Structure 1
Amino acid sequence: MATTTPPTRPETPLVPEPAPAPVPDRASGPVPDRASSAITGRARLILLVLCAAQFMVALDFSVLNVALPVLGADLGMSPAALQWAVTAFALPSGGFLLLSGRIGDLYGRRKLFLIGLALFGAASLLATFAWDPASFLAGRALQGLGAAMIVPTGMSLLTTTFPEGPQRDRALGISGTLLSLGFTIGMILGGVMTDTLGWRSTMGLLALFTLIVLPLAPGLLPESRTPERPRLDVPGAVTVTGGLLSLIYALSTAAERGFGGTDVQVSLVAGVVLLVAFGVVESRSAAPLVSLPMLRRGTVAFGNLGGLVTFSMMSTVIFVLTLYLQETLGLSSFATGLVFGIQGVVSVFAGTVAPKVIGRFGAGRTLVIGLAGQGLLTAALLGIGTGSGAVLAAVAVSLASICHLGAIVAYGVTVTSGVPDAEQGLATGLVTTTQQVGLTVGIPMLGVLATTGDSLYGGVRTVLALDAAIVLVTAAVIALGLRRARRERARA
């Protein structure tokens, strides 16, 4: 396994060595390339396996959405119950991420990654051959639990396999591209497969992916864990998992029924209380699940803020544009899929460019640039009309996806830069938790505004305006926060 080591300076035996200068912070500014970004041989195969698994999980987020009405009719699920097809996956996949990342740190990331893959594949088969709503929802929940194991351990294996610098930047760029591409392709494949092969084929596709990836993984992936094995922080695990489960349930349910339900309100309060309790527990734990000093690092705090906003706001844009294109302009599901298919193609380009931009400007500045671009292009979507707007939507959302991909890669680099290998599972657990929560909260917070007003068109424009404002304000906050963090490090 390749480990991250600080770059060495050339030896100067005839001249006394001066006091070491501060190590440049890649999260805040550019540093000279010290290694080739080329990924060759076994490392390329490792990256292929890890990215294939991430792509598979991203595909699962969207491939079923278009199939829900057909699925409900086949299994006898009411329209109100269909939200559980999504929520049953989102709850465990988001709620158990931090715990899974830490278990991988302590007991073996490769081991937990393989367990997660096997569980995900078995659960996909269960969902494929489900005979009633209960068996289907059980399969979805187990898929979510498998995803909660795959995502943080896969990201940890990536960051510990590829040393910090150009190689890791490129690996994260490829991973981020496939993550976005998987979500977009899922939207297109879901409609095509449901119309031609039936909704069960969407779940069967995920099982097939697992059967391809799982046999390759054991012989390729290196095992990695922390050198010491402190006791697992059980109180921290209980409070953070319970808090995330409550929060994700409340927001997922609110997307369908609004925030007026008693269960939604109770879950929101319980989620906040449990997450506050988690902070108290971690401040007193000898072996915390989350290192509070890590959370106080400017790069970790502001990097995760950027990740949360870029994921949540972009998923909201895609949601409301889907409604607009089909309900206002009358486009078919296939034509709507093509609009977002263009976005997917552009994402491939963005993923290759993002590491080069990071190398030039630094991850922190790239994150700010990406967010600012995403916000401005979201604002440009306010030019859509009731009779036309498909071309503007296709162009603006595709260009916004370039900025979005840049922000995704940059926030991953920002959060994990300078973190020891022993804590990479923790850092990447935060990265992936931010990703999952971001994908979950955007639509409930803003998306429902598009359908609750008198006019869908007016609601969509309101959501786009709020979305753009949130992204642009966040970009400014992160720019100021990272600048202050650099000044504090300079004074230290």
Structure 2
Amino acid sequence: MTNPSGETLSGDDLTVRSAAGEVSPPRSAVTGRERLILAVLLTASFTLAVDFSILNVALPAIGDDVGLSLGGLQWIATAFSLCAAGFTLLFGRVADLFGRRRLFLVGIAVLGASSLAGGTAGTPWVLIAARVAQGLATAAVTPAALSLLTTSFPEGPVRDKALGLNGALMAAGFTTGAILGGVLTDLLSWRWAFFINVAVAVLVLVLAPAVLSESRPEHRPALDVPGAVVVTLALLSVVYGLTQAGQRSWGSPQAYAPLAAGAVLLVLFWFVEQRVAQPLVPVRVLRRRSVRWGNVAGLLAFATETSVVFLLTLYLQDVLGYSPLASGLSFAVLGLGTVVGGVIGPKVIGAVGTRNALVAGFLVQAAATVPLVFLGAGSGWIYVLLVTTFAGGVANLVAIVGFMVTATSGLPDEEQGLANGLATMSQQIGITMGIPIMSAVATARIHGFDVQDAHAVLSGVSVALTVNAAACVLAALLLALTLRTTGRATGRV
């Protein structure tokens, strides 16, 4: 819809006009049915976020139980992240074409079945196959759930609240996974990290059909098979290259060869999309400033904060001597900060506008990261870590809520699956990309020392955290220059 000046209006520009001609503001209250929808969708999203990190601290125990070599342990994480990031854009479009609720339910069923297989696995190939299936389920459920959320709530304050809660739980899920993985491994068994998913999947499959309505476009276009194949191969190559860079080095052929191949395939994908009649990703959508730069913001938000968790894990265990369980529990404060940030994020957007909220979020996150650069080997530094990670978690979630609002607003319902597929891809590639990049920075510094002791690790972590803070500042500057000034009165980005 456009106004008399020819400007495109988003849902925030549309108000309800009474018979007397009075204009009322967009609805801000959440109905009882909408609360049920939120409960189902957020439960699924939180569970998927937990899966990204829940097995990290349990890898040695898993290797011992199923007979997986030290070199093969990386595939427990890599198999999952490859599929979760590589297929998310494809499944986001499939959700638009064949029904978001249908794909959501199928994905949840696959998650439950694959988690049961993973929890009972006795051989490496069964475990890796289960992680592949979990990754595919994540690629299907996450964009479908986001599409159901954005099409179930009107654009404006109500949708912002829903996206804020979703962002908070997604970010908190990554931190919770690290805590829960340590608790389950120490007190029960790593297999319970899989079995929890089975219980959640059964609960969601029982409730979702009665709560969620099917959502799909009236006319179904043909699936862009060439574009789907090219972009999936491109994303698989990029994610694989990033994981190899973190495990080996950026100069390793196993890293730069797939990264180069992925870059070439992404260029090819751009040309394919301009020539097919019904593209997987319409070029007009990518040309929207809000979609393009909103996804850049999301990628940077997830890359910077998840890599901070990785770097501080090195600090806690290799410098302060914390156990994996104690390290995980130390991030509970960060998890609390993400929940607070998700709650206040929509309010910040309502007060200062989307662009300003994004910029402020990244700047505060950078300010919270700077003190971490000066962490020392004394036990008292843990208090600095707890305070600053809380502040950084709040700021990061404000940025994530701003990213979701920016990347999904002003689009028709039939393109919400695509928009959310892009947003999901950005967050998953951000999670995958941040850790290997910061790991490579820290490792390069550590290798400069004759002895790789606690002092060397501390120095490497400090350098990487400096780069991380600088990335936050650069993100803020980039978004300040590329996004239009917005307010909830207009909703334009």
TM-score higher than 0.5 here? yes
1:401 Cα deviation from its structure 2 partner:
0.5
Q: Output the amino acid matched with 1:248.
A: V
Q: Output the amino acid matched with 2:107.
A: G
Match of 1:467?
Answer: 468
SS at match of 1:186: helix
Aligned-residue identity in percent: 47
Once the two structures are superposed, the pairs formed by residues 298-313 of structure 1 within 5 Å of their partners are: 298-313=289-304
Q: Is the 8 A contact 1:97 1:432 kept in 2?
A: yes
Once the two structures are superposed, the pairs formed by residues 18-417 of structure 1 within 5 Å of their partners are: 34-388=25-379, 389-417=381-409
Q: Output the amino acid matched with 2:230.
A: T
1:483 Cα deviation from its structure 2 partner:
3.6
Runs of 4+ in 1 over 4 A off after TM superposition: 3-6, 9-14
SS at match of 1:229: coil
SS at match of 2:52: helix
Q: Is the 8 A contact 1:83 1:253 kept in 2?
A: no
SS at match of 1:62: coil
Distance 2:301 2:462 in 1: 19
SS at match of 1:131: coil
SS at match of 2:337: helix
Q: Output the amino acid matched with 1:470.
A: A
**Partner of residue 423 from structure 2, selected from 426, 431, 434:** 431
Q: Is the 8 A contact 2:12 2:156 kept in 1?
A: no
Q: Is the 8 A contact 1:33 1:166 kept in 2?
A: no
Deviations 1:242-290 (A, max 9, x none): 0000111111122212234333232112111111100110111211111
TM-score (normalised: structure 2): 0.91
1:478 Cα deviation from its structure 2 partner:
0.7
Q: Output the amino acid matched with 2:477.
A: A
1:10 Cα deviation from its structure 2 partner:
4.2
Q: Is the 8 A contact 2:179 2:325 kept in 1?
A: yes
Q: Output the amino acid matched with 1:302.
A: W
Q: Output the amino acid matched with 1:223.
A: E
Distance 2:360 2:135 in 1: 33
Q: Is the 8 A contact 2:337 2:392 kept in 1?
A: no
Match of 1:25?
Answer: none
Distance 2:423 2:30 in 1: 23
Distance 1:11 1:330 in 2: 65
Distance 1:34 1:351 in 2: 23
Q: Is the 8 A contact 2:364 2:395 kept in 1?
A: yes
Deviations 1:441-491 (A, max 9, x none): 0111122322342311110011000111111011101101114999xx9xx
Distance 2:291 2:231 in 1: 18
Q: Is the 8 A contact 1:366 1:406 kept in 2?
A: yes
Q: Which runs of 5 or more structure 1 residues have no equivalent in the other structure? A: 15-31
82-91 vs 177-186, which moves further = 177-186
**Partner of residue 441 from structure 1, selected from 429, 433, 443:** 433
Distance 2:20 2:390 in 1: 54
1:197 Cα deviation from its structure 2 partner:
1.0
Deviations 1:64-101 (A, max 9, x none): 11100110111111111111000010011100101001
266-275 vs 327-336, which moves further = 327-336
SS at match of 1:355: helix
Q: Is the 8 A contact 2:183 2:325 kept in 1?
A: yes
Deviations 1:318-358 (A, max 9, x none): 10001001111112223222220011122222211111111
Q: Output the amino acid matched with 1:78.
A: S
Distance 2:18 2:107 in 1: 46
1:188 Cα deviation from its structure 2 partner:
0.8
- The structure-2 alpha-carbon separation of the partners of 1:219 and 1:485, relative to structure 1 and needing over 3 Å to count, comes to closer
Q: Output the amino acid matched with 2:408.
A: T
1:36 Cα deviation from its structure 2 partner:
3.6
Q: Output the amino acid matched with 2:436.
A: P
Distance 1:415 1:33 in 2: 26
- The structure-2 alpha-carbon separation of the partners of 1:11 and 1:334, relative to structure 1 and needing over 3 Å to count, comes to closer
Q: Is the 8 A contact 2:15 2:24 kept in 1?
A: no
Distance 1:332 1:447 in 2: 20
SS at match of 2:179: helix
Q: Output the amino acid matched with 1:407.
A: A
- The structure-2 alpha-carbon separation of the partners of 1:5 and 1:355, relative to structure 1 and needing over 3 Å to count, comes to closer
Q: Is the 8 A contact 2:12 2:26 kept in 1?
A: no
Distance 2:458 2:24 in 1: 48
Match of 2:442?
Answer: 450
206-215 vs 270-279, which moves further = 206-215
1:181 Cα deviation from its structure 2 partner:
1.6
Distance 1:36 1:281 in 2: 41
- The structure-2 alpha-carbon separation of the partners of 1:71 and 1:13, relative to structure 1 and needing over 3 Å to count, comes to closer
Match of 1:23?
Answer: none
Deviations 1:423-444 (A, max 9, x none): 1011111111000000000111
SS at match of 2:35: helix
Distance 1:95 1:129 in 2: 26
Q: Is the 8 A contact 2:15 2:26 kept in 1?
A: no
Q: Is the 8 A contact 1:306 1:371 kept in 2?
A: no
Distance 1:93 1:331 in 2: 31
Q: Is the 8 A contact 1:33 1:359 kept in 2?
A: no
1:226 Cα deviation from its structure 2 partner:
1.4
SS at match of 1:448: helix
Q: Is the 8 A contact 1:110 1:224 kept in 2?
A: yes
- The structure-2 alpha-carbon separation of the partners of 1:10 and 1:484, relative to structure 1 and needing over 3 Å to count, comes to closer
SS at match of 1:289: coil
